Structure 1
Amino acid sequence: MPNPSRLRAAVLTATVLLSSLLTGCGDDSEDEDLTAQQLNWEDCPAPSQAEGGGAAPSPLPNGDEWQCATMKAPLDWAEPKGDTIGLALIRAEASGDNSERIGSLLFNFGGPGGSGVTTLPAFGEDYAALRTRYDLVSFDPRGVGRSAPVKCENDQQLDAFFQQDATPDDAAERTELLDNTKEFNAACEENSEKMLPQVRTTDAARDMDLMRQVLGDDKLHYFGISYGTELGGVYAHLFPERVGRAVFDAVVDPTQNPEQGSLGQAKGFQLALDNFAEDCTSKIEDCPIGDSAQDVKDRIAALLAELDRKPLPGIFPRDLTQTAATNGIAQALYSQDFWEYLTEGLQQAYDGDGRILMLLSDSMNGRSENGEYSNITAANISINCADDKPRYTAEFVESRLPEFRAASELFGDFLAWGMVSCTDWAVDGAADHPDVSAPGSAPILVVGNTGDPATPYEGARKMVQALGEGVGVELTYRGQGHGAYDSKNRCVQSAVNGYLLDGKVPAAGTVCS
């Protein structure tokens, strides 16, 4: 069986998992200056259920403890003197000589909906070089984890929600999917009505500028991964003169609407599956799940078709459905480190046992072994629906299925039907796509991975173009998985560290392999 802690850590890299619980809204004096607030840094508690649960973060390699604090921010940035919410922060103080300290380096690991408070400690050692001159800081964005979390359905309801058929084949299945989506969205409105209009990416960007001030920095030094690149781009658009040294890794294409983004992901996951199948069958030893790359993919397609008719036993009492298996396969494609688990999970499924693929699916959905869910799904849908203006109907999705299936036989239907998530949402979406134009900003290093399934490589160039002339600097990593820096490729890390630590901007068009 895969190691659950390793699965969880890799899930965190993929921009999608983990979140937390904390303070709601409170009344404050209209005269309070939030920029002057003092943070009370203390030892970190164990993650809440909304963050995914588990133990408090282990000490850093040199024995230093992680520290946590809560920052007040306006509930509604249109009324900055009104009610406030608490935003959960975590930091590891700089390890080097204080005279060499640059400031704080703020991380967002993606999602949207991922808890930075749980993710940063999981990868703390990966950023040891950056810690020599920065305090490493991350946070739970508003609506996530400990930061006034959005709440939708309970654990039992979520078990049923994730067991549904997300790729309907007939009118009855389509009606059931739409009804379940409507019920989920109604639960979000019932349980989180006050927060739903306040979780847009523009709100989170304004929160980051408040953090910059409270942390005592003149400029925001920033490391954004996956959705964190979109958040960073929006920040740069709103506050170009306040951008310090910034890196975007695993880059979201800011020019795409949700339909285009979903179609791009279908192509990206198909490419990752092609690479997985080719890798397995090109090794010296026999590939246990197929005789050729095409055979591997044909067998997976046959498995999913069979699961649509008859699910396999999964993690008792739940069965491995077609949807759960597709979700688990997608999760494994986020990191090349997961490919061995995908191979083992497929072998197991061919023998009638769906536990590994279900464990991978649970990791994607933020479900712990004790059956409790983080609020990753609630936060992800809430932020996306607050950001994205389009509302897609079932009829529209059906009209687009041929193109999605052409992009990916395995993932096309799955990603196409995901577009109905915001149908009947309680809050209007803000725009077709984010505005990240940032004239006057300091250089931003934009890192694209040619094998990235979730944020396809083309998005890096689109981000560079959208940021504007003289801002985005593109670096290419010829690799696999979601993101580049955490691949530990020396070329990538040298370029990123050189910029963040010493201000050395690599040549535009640099390629690492």
Structure 2
Amino acid sequence: MPHPPSIRTGAAALLAAALLAGCTSGSEKSEGSSTGSKTGELATQQLKWSTCPAPSVAQGGGEAPGQAWDCATMKAPLDYEKPDGETIDVALIRKKATGSDKAERIGSLVFNFGGPGASGVATLPSAAEDYGTLNERYDLVSFDPRGVGESATVDCVDDKEIDEDRASDEGPPRTAAEEQEALADNKESVAQCEKRSGKVLPYVRTTDTARDMDLMRQVLGDDKLNYFGISYGTELGGTYAHLFPKNVGRTVFDAVVNPTEGKVAKSLGQAKGFQLALDNYLKSPGPHAYPASEDISALLTRLKDEPLPTRDGRDLTYSSAFIGIAATLYSEETWQYLTQGLTEVKTAGSGNMLLLLADAYNGRDQSGRYDNSNEAGAAIRCADSSERLTIDDVKKHLPEFKQASPVFGEALAWSLVGCTDWPVKGERKTPEVSAEGAAPIVVIGNTGDPATPYEGAQKMADALGDGVGIHVTVNGEGHGTYGVNTCATKLVDRHLLDGKAPADGKTCS
């Protein structure tokens, strides 16, 4: 699930409340060869696998994944221009292939679940049941991308400070004074991030993580990288394919990022996507406590000045309700929680369910501890994107955002200035994903996807190049298709297990 790129919440968070993966343009020279990227002697390191501990707070907490799982730490260059210089630790997790015939083992299948900011070490065990068929012949592998979880952790703001900011949140700025206050708050939090994590901030770009994946391929002993990327993971996978086309193995992109859009177009597309998902929810069998988008928009407006109480003593503010509502739209299966949350607001005047949903999305546990997904997501996005938009840019585009979505448009417009004052110069406007000579990559777009709108899949397939991007359409709801849509799941299994890609233009209902 993508995370908002805010380092702080409150007014400053809404300046950076985009719900999608970061965007990174220009061209970068391919490094595609069997020898991989500049890694010095690190390519020959031996991983020391051992039983996994419980995930750390930065990874999201929870229980240890069990005896079937092994964890290890890979050394990677902090700066790939200095492969023999300072190193960072990259946290890995693995579940070995379960099939009894070792000759049938294909190799490792590496996952990235999106964000940017999601811990693969924490996510893969909870999702592994969906990949049981693949696990028979693949070692399932994931990792914390640099900046995330336990890999060169980006740490910017204390938990208590985050809660205090959210408690005082009044939504997007409404006056010139509030605009300046929001910018000042954001500047202060950026300064904190630089003070606490400044050494790693220049080196958490998607291109850096793509190079980590090629080092990982070598250390795992695979000639090719077999890869399953979801959401932002498709942008990461496309970047890898561009840099290392000759090293691309059997690869699937699901819930696909549009690699051709800058910040304005991407955020506007997402406003439309979430509005479409909300409208589809409102058309579903009711009853609905708030039967129209305008009713939900009016609710959010009221929350700017009149937050609702919850049982744990914190209030449901504008941004918490906004995130709580959006979080339920990633899957048709979670629409029921939106119904519960809005019904509770309407009938009881309390915000327990929506706050619970926002907490889960923001990585806050019941003890008030936050994972670092938002902080890492902000750092990665701002290291990737060269765009530094201003309040004037927001005001210029605000009308079209509001027209695109009465519920989500305003906050997503204000997200455009999320990288203002960031201390690291962004790499490019849009990611480079052209991958001439790479093996076929299956690219799946879902027509009802709110976070990575359907059109992005065709754009990604085209950008990968003729004979590389294989576009598949799924007519359905939600963010991601594998394990949800039977047709898509079967064709992915066939590609990853048998090496047989579907026909370009295939449609699944």
Whether these two folds match at TM > 0.5 is yes
CA distance in 2 between partners of 1:118 and 1:202 (Å): 23
> Measured at CA, do residues 315 and 380 of structure 1 come closer, stay the same or move farther in structure 2, by a change above 3 Å?
farther
Matched, 1:343 2:329: no
CA RMSD of aligned residues (A): 1.5
1:376 aligned onto 2:373? yes
Residue of structure 1 equivalent to 2:121: 117
* Residue equivalent to 1:503: 499
Q: 1:93 aligns with which of 96, 100, 113?
A: 96
What CA distance in whole angstroms lies between the structure 1 residues aligned with 2:39 and 2:207? 24
Deviation for aligned residue 1:261: 0.8
- Which residue does the alignment assign to 2:109? 105
Alignment match, 2:219 = 214
Q: Secondary structure at the match of 2:228?
A: strand
Assess if the C-alpha contact under 8 Å between 1:142 and 1:149 holds in 2. Answer: yes
Q: Which runs of 4+ in 1 moved over 2 A?
A: 160-166, 295-299, 314-317
The answer to which of 171-180 and 120-129 deviates more is: 171-180
Q: How far did 1:307 drift? A: 0.9
Q: Which residue of 1 aligns with 2:483?
A: 486
Which residue in the other structure is 2:315 paired with?
319
Structure 1 residues 352, 58: closer, same or farther in 2, change over 3 A? farther
Partner in structure 2 of residue 444 of structure 1: 441
Shift of 1:299: 2.5
C-alpha distance 495-32 of structure 1, shift in aligned 2 (>3 A): closer
Aligned pair count reads: 472
User: 1:236-294: per-residue Cα shift (whole Å, max 9, x none)?
Assistant: 0000000010000000000011111111110000000001101134xxxxx1425xxxx
**Hey, what does 2:462 align to over in structure 1?**
465
Distance 2:386 2:170 in 1: 26
Cα separation, 2, equivalents of 1:368 and 1:337: 22
Counterpart position of 1:185: 190
SS at match of 1:422: coil
Task: State the Cα distance separating 1:316 from its structure 2 match.
Answer: 2.8
Q: Which has the higher contact order (CA 8 A, sep 6+)?
A: 2
1:463-510 Cα offsets, whole Å, 9 max, x none, are: 0111011100011111111111132x2101100000000011111111
Question: 2: distance between equivalents of 1:399 and 1:70?
Answer: 47
| CA–CA distance in structure 2, aligned partners of residues 352 and 145 of structure 1 | 36
Q: Secondary structure at the residue paired with 2:292?
A: helix
The corresponding residue for 1:10 is none
2:350 match: secondary structure: coil
**Distance (Å, rounded) in 2 between the aligned partners of 1:262 and 1:242:** 32
- The normalised TM-score by structure 2 is 0.91
Q: Name the counterpart of 2:44.
A: 36
Instruction: Check the 8 A contact 1:387/1:429 in 2, yes or no.
Output: yes
2:15 is matched with none
Is 1:53 aligned to residue 61 of structure 2?
yes
Segments of structure 1 that go 5 or more residues without pairing to the other structure are 1-13, 17-29, 60-64, 282-286
1:310 has 2:315 as partner: no
Give the letter aligned to residue 369 of structure 2: E
Equivalent-residue separation in structure 1 for 2:393 and 2:39 (angstroms): 50
> What are the residue-to-residue correspondences of 1:3-18 with 2, within 5 Å?
none
Identity of aligned residues (%): 57
Q: What is the Cα deviation at residue 32 of structure 1?
A: 6.7
The corresponding residue for 2:9 is none
Q: Please tell me the residue identity of whatever aligns with 1:165.
A: E
Asked whether the 8 Å contact 2:276–2:448 carries over to 1, the reply is: yes
**In the superposition, relative to structure 1, how do residues 111 and 31 fare at CA in structure 2: closer, same or farther (>3 Å)?**
closer
Match of 2:7 in 1: none
Is residue 315–residue 358 contact of structure 1 (8 Å, CA) maintained in 2? no
Following superposition, the deviation at residue 160 of structure 1 comes to 2.8
Tell whether the 8 Å contact from 2:52 to 2:66 is kept in structure 1 after alignment.
no
d(CA) in 1 for partners of 2:462, 2:103:
37
How far apart, in 2, do the equivalents of 1:346 and 1:410 lie?
14
Asked if 1:137 corresponds to 2:145, the answer is no
In the other structure, the counterpart of 1:329 is 325
After TM superposition, the score normalised by the length of structure 1 is: 0.90
Give the corresponding residue for 2:159.
155
Q: Are 2:80 and 1:82 aligned? A: no
Structure 2: which amino acid aligns with 1:387? Answer: D
Q: Which moved more, 1:100-109 or 1:317-326?
A: 317-326
Task: Report SS of the residue matched to 1:345.
Answer: helix
SS in structure 2 opposite 1:223? strand
CA–CA separation in structure 2 for the residues paired with 1:15 and 1:337 = 20
SS in structure 2 at match of 1:235: helix
The residue type equivalent to 1:289 in the other structure is A
Instruction: Provide structure 2 residue ranges, at least 5 long, that are not aligned to the other structure.
Output: 1-18, 22-37
CA–CA distance in 1 between the matches of 2:307 and 2:113?
A: 34
- The 1-side partners of 2:280 and 2:186 are apart by 33
